[in-house]
Structure 1
Amino acid sequence: MNLTRAIGTIGGLTMISRIFGFAREMLMSRIMGASGAADAFLVAFRLPNTFRRLFGEGAFSAGFVPLFSQRLHGQGGIEDARKFSEEVLAVFLPTLFLFTLVFEIAMPAFVWAIASGYADEPAKFALTVSLTRITFPYLLLISLVSLFSGVLNSLTKFAAAAFAPALLNVAMLGALILVPAGGVKTAYALAIGVTVGGVFQLALLWNGARRAGISLRLRRPRITPGVRQFFVVVIPATLGAGVYQISQLIDTFFATRLPEGSMSFLNYSDRLNQLPLSVIGTALGTAILPQISRFIARGEPDEAAKVQGQAVELSMLLCLPAALALAVVAGPLCAALFQGGKFTAHDAMVTGNVLAIIVAGLPAYVLVKVITPGFYAREDTKTPVKTAAIVLIANIVLNFALIPLFGIYGLAFAIAACSWLNCLMLYAILRARGHFRIEGWLWGRIARQIAAGLVMAAVLWALRMAFADWFAGSVGKRMISVMALVGIGGIVYFGAAWLFGGMDKEAIRLLTRRRRKKEA
């Protein structure tokens, strides 16, 4: 499988999803503003998403994909892999039902524990509980989506899983269009849209697996050797992801105790931060895990390390300019995308400031996506647990130290700092074990990429100052200005990276020649 092609497929379809997501966020900011109802919905949306990342994505993929790949490429082939999938599904499905039922019953206590800052406002607290009860079944649906995504990714069929999130954004966009009144009514419509979007996603992935030749039957739940092996791998991964997700819930806890609108500022800034993370980091992590697992299973660790090295090079080539550009143009970008209707210029300014701080950790977020497959492919999910526990403690300490002084900006700084702490610890451990190290040539390549990024940042800053009136003008002027900055920034960065040697010129020439031959 060609790594660049796989990343292009995943990243391109993820980008489509993110475009729908930004359309949703732009419409939502104008209809809902930074209001109490918006904050309540964002908490209700964050809670199932947190558990989705805990059970349904990172931990599940870490345990499922390597084991599925072993069976798929072993003597049993696709039949053995299908049997393993059915055994996991038989245990996974009733567990999810029970988990969802317990939380639906205990939702008031759960929301109080996470968003106790709303307890002083009975109406806002009750709204948050009601909305969370509507959105929480999304956890069950999206966890099943992750199982089918793992099957398709192991078969190197990435398209359906990469496109699926777009269906959630479409469902939520539909809710905003159908119920544009704002306030509580729109919040309820959005909550329903979340669950409907989960149904759409599950239907797409189930059909994709069926067309790929994997039709899963429901079996009686049994702890088979395969399921036992799956749990041995996935439980530590869940604990590791759990520590990280607890950190996310702690951020929510602190944000709900800040002034009204803080959840909205954090949400919109994080959406922009998540764009390059999803398009670059998630695409790379998804693409390289099956490859590294396959090389490790064959006893070819050098090839596995080579794949990770290529992924690091490509991730930094794409991520560094994104982080620097977002930091420089955070204010104008947030104003262009979100300002309008009930979302004021002050709201956009605060959101931009939060974004400028959070993106300092973006390269680390992306690198973690590239580094952790080196552990998961070796069925080592315990090490990320230990590093995540240290990061959790650091996050709590930083939040208590910084938030009283800097408010939501302190929260943003803690998020960025902890991402770097996690990244550096994971790399140091992987390097110490001899599994992967960044070679001298790669350090040099990254240094040249940073130099190209700084040239781009200087140009963007000069343009921002020269055309300040446009960035403070009408919606049309703001959008045109931001699009111009994006285009100019891309041209400057990739031109400088080419001149400085920040990219593999020979690989690009080879790719260009292959395309010409294919066209001929």
Structure 2
Amino acid sequence: MFPQHQQPSKSSVPPISPNSGQAQGRAVDKGLTKQSIISKAIHVGGSTLISRIFGTVREALMSRYLGASGLSDAFFLAFKIPNSARKMFAEGAVSAAFVPVYLQVSRTHGQKHADSLMSLSFIAFESMVVVFCGLVMWYAPSVVATLAPGFDAVQLAQAVPYVRIMMPFIFFISTSALFAGALQSVNHFLIPALAPIILNVAMISALIFSLLFKLSVSTVCWAVVAGGALQCIAHAITYARYSLSFGSINAQTVHYFGSMLVRFLLCLISVSTAEINDIIDAQFASRLPAGSLSLLYYAGRYVAIPLGVFAIAFSTILLPHFSRVVVHARARMGFYILESVKLITWVIVPVAILLAALGHKLFITIAVSDKFTLVHAYKAQQILCAAVPGLLFLSLNKIFLNTYYALGNTWIPGITTTCAVIFNIVCNYLLVEKFQAVGLAIATTISASVQTILLIVLLQTYFGVRIYFGRFFQFVLRICLQYAVGFTGFSVLYTGCVFLLSCLPEWYIWLLEDTLCYWLWAGPLCALLALYLFASRTWFGIKLHFID
């Protein structure tokens, strides 16, 4: 079906071992060694974790302020429009298309040409963003009615002004994305990872004041715009501190930008799978009972925590690294893909299990309030359990998509994205009537798994990249044994703690099981499990190139 590139012979593929990888990848790792890759991933992931903690506080306040109702559905739909555009356009397609080209120009032609490319990119992309924002703001009633056909007249009237207030948020974030892409070329990832904290702090402040003084939802909308503006300022200052600037535009710059623009248009489809599926889910959820869209949002935020803290952070660091691999040691791509997938799997699977097992406690201890009842918590937990299996596939997709971008191919990711979206729509139709919002989460999981399979098959078929299935399945058997021992011990300790708590007076049981105090003992148990998994790798023969 697809024309095949010449595949490397087996003899040309180096043996899979950390030592051989380090030796043959020396030219590749000139920019980033494996130690610096994982170090920067930890820094970025740690920064993202701080942001997610602030985000959890934000969602806790949001559930107390809005709950799960028609009003909350209207706000989250309005917030989804600029937020999804941010992920698709600014942090998705722009980053995926801009970073490889900017890095190549900077390395081969010098920083002066890279500065010129930044100038043209800024003018072109921000012009597109301004036009897009203007159109959405002008046609906001039609946009909302299209994205949420199940909204009644009251919800439509509520959502439209919220959309118009928050749309400028995209301009600031898209500018930040360009600065962040340039900063990646000099291996600076900290500020882009910390910047979302600014948005969370702005929204938290607005929510606290809104709760205390009973302010309108518009206050939170304005806080979103303010947070985006502050993020942009932080990126601009960092950009200047690294002596990066803007340069004059010439014919060569236009040539570079033309190459990047083609990547951008194709990446716009391929990086948007999750957001397109979210928008489709919102259309279906708008026809469900009031609050369903909000419950999907709350559950999705907890799935996004490990996805952002590790998978996205790790894949962000790997993009410039993979770009160097393609140039200096293309035969090593199979090795680096294998090791990346192994690390992602080893980290994400236990996190997903814990999310599914303790999900009900997340909503009971953090979200339950007068406007977010135990019934809402139970429904949100069901949605979370349905979405958690898709976490691994969403994480792997980040790695595989960046592999294609590093190889200079964007149309295959576009095709796989289209297939995934079609599967999501079909599954939504089949599952939503019986399972309601839970069915939408199941459909998203199926969609993500379909895209993962397609990306793997086409990577091997079209590019001849060797996929080490046998070695990966051996690795899976080893980690399953490690998980079995670890989670058995975790279950025994957890059950023992619950038994001891049952001996306490009823008020203490409530305090330590149904409030934030629950995490004072459950949190250390989770940390103990993580420590065991890290320390016991060698016992089970688990080898991870990036952290060994």
Q: TM-score under structure 1 normalisation?
A: 0.91
Instruction: Report the residue type matching 2:224 in the other structure.
Output: V
**Residue in structure 2 matching 1:363, options 392, 405, 409:** 392
Aligned residues: 503
For residue 378 of structure 2, what is the aligned residue in structure 1? 349
Change (3 A) 1:162 1:400: same
For residue 201 of structure 1, what is the aligned residue in structure 2? 231
For residue 77 of structure 2, what is the aligned residue in structure 1? 43
Instruction: Give the deviation of 1:240 after TM superposition.
Output: 2.5
Query: What is the SS of the residue equivalent to 2:409?
Result: coil
Matches for 1:178-189 after TM superposition, within 5 Å:
178-180=209-211, 185-189=215-219
For residue 487 of structure 1, what is the aligned residue in structure 2? 527
Instruction: Report the residue type matching 2:207 in the other structure.
Output: L
8 A Cα contact 2:383 2:437, kept in partner: yes
Instruction: Report the residue type matching 1:161 in the other structure.
Output: P
Query: What is the SS of the residue equivalent to 1:215?
Result: coil
Instruction: Give the deviation of 1:457 after TM superposition.
Output: 3.9
8 A Cα contact 1:320 1:449, kept in partner: no
8 A Cα contact 2:116 2:248, kept in partner: no
* 1:323 and 2:352 are equivalent in the alignment: yes
For residue 99 of structure 1, what is the aligned residue in structure 2? 132
Note the alpha carbon deviations across 1:445-502, whole angstroms, 9 max, x for none: 2332233234444444555556286578441443334324422432444455443223
8 A Cα contact 2:352 2:388, kept in partner: yes
Instruction: Give the deviation of 1:48 after TM superposition.
Output: 0.8
* Aligned mates of 1:501, 1:282 — CA distance in 2: 27
* 1:125 and 2:125 are equivalent in the alignment: no
**Residue in structure 1 matching 2:63, options 29, 32, 45:** 29
8 A Cα contact 1:89 1:218, kept in partner: no
**Residue in structure 2 matching 1:286, options 316, 329, 332:** 316
Query: What is the SS of the residue equivalent to 1:224?
Result: helix
**Residue in structure 1 matching 2:102, options 68, 79, 89:** 68
Matches for 1:158-169 after TM superposition, within 5 Å:
158-169=189-200
For residue 170 of structure 2, what is the aligned residue in structure 1? 139
8 A Cα contact 1:176 1:190, kept in partner: yes
Instruction: Give the deviation of 1:380 after TM superposition.
Output: 0.5
Matches for 1:266-415 after TM superposition, within 5 Å:
266-298=296-328, 300-415=329-444
For residue 511 of structure 1, what is the aligned residue in structure 2? none
For residue 201 of structure 2, what is the aligned residue in structure 1? 170
For residue 110 of structure 2, what is the aligned residue in structure 1? 77
8 A Cα contact 1:63 1:234, kept in partner: yes
* Aligned mates of 1:221, 1:323 — CA distance in 2: 50
* Aligned mates of 1:220, 1:177 — CA distance in 2: 50
For residue 86 of structure 1, what is the aligned residue in structure 2? 119
Instruction: Give the deviation of 1:223 after TM superposition.
Output: 8.4
**Residue in structure 2 matching 1:437, options 467, 477, 489:** 467
Identity of aligned residues (%): 29
For residue 517 of structure 1, what is the aligned residue in structure 2? none
* 1:152 and 2:180 are equivalent in the alignment: no
* Aligned mates of 2:252, 2:287 — CA distance in 1: 45
Q: Which moved more, 1:436-445 or 1:346-355?
A: 436-445
Instruction: Give the deviation of 1:430 after TM superposition.
Output: 0.9
* Aligned mates of 2:298, 2:269 — CA distance in 1: 28
* 1:191 and 2:221 are equivalent in the alignment: yes
Note the alpha carbon deviations across 1:50-81, whole angstroms, 9 max, x for none: 1112211221122111101111111x211111
Q: Which moved more, 1:86-95 or 1:159-168?
A: 86-95
Instruction: Give the deviation of 1:218 after TM superposition.
Output: 8.8
Query: What is the SS of the residue equivalent to 2:289?
Result: coil
* 1:210 and 2:240 are equivalent in the alignment: yes
Change (3 A) 1:124 1:280: same
* Aligned mates of 1:435, 1:54 — CA distance in 2: 27
Note the alpha carbon deviations across 1:348-397, whole angstroms, 9 max, x for none: 11111111110111111111111111110122000011011111111111
* Aligned mates of 2:476, 2:233 — CA distance in 1: 42
Instruction: Give the deviation of 1:157 after TM superposition.
Output: 0.5
**Residue in structure 2 matching 1:115, options 138, 145, 148:** 148
Larger relative contact order (CA 8 Å, sep ≥ 6): 2
* Aligned mates of 2:282, 2:317 — CA distance in 1: 31
Instruction: Report the residue type matching 2:107 in the other structure.
Output: H
8 A Cα contact 2:296 2:383, kept in partner: yes
* Aligned mates of 1:285, 1:79 — CA distance in 2: 28
8 A Cα contact 2:363 2:381, kept in partner: yes
Query: What is the SS of the residue equivalent to 1:389?
Result: helix
8 A Cα contact 1:328 1:457, kept in partner: no
8 A Cα contact 1:71 1:81, kept in partner: yes
8 A Cα contact 2:363 2:377, kept in partner: yes
For residue 263 of structure 1, what is the aligned residue in structure 2? 293
* Aligned mates of 1:441, 1:263 — CA distance in 2: 42
Please tell me the root mean square deviation across aligned C-alpha atoms, in Å: 2.4
For residue 88 of structure 2, what is the aligned residue in structure 1? 54
Q: TM-score under structure 2 normalisation?
A: 0.86
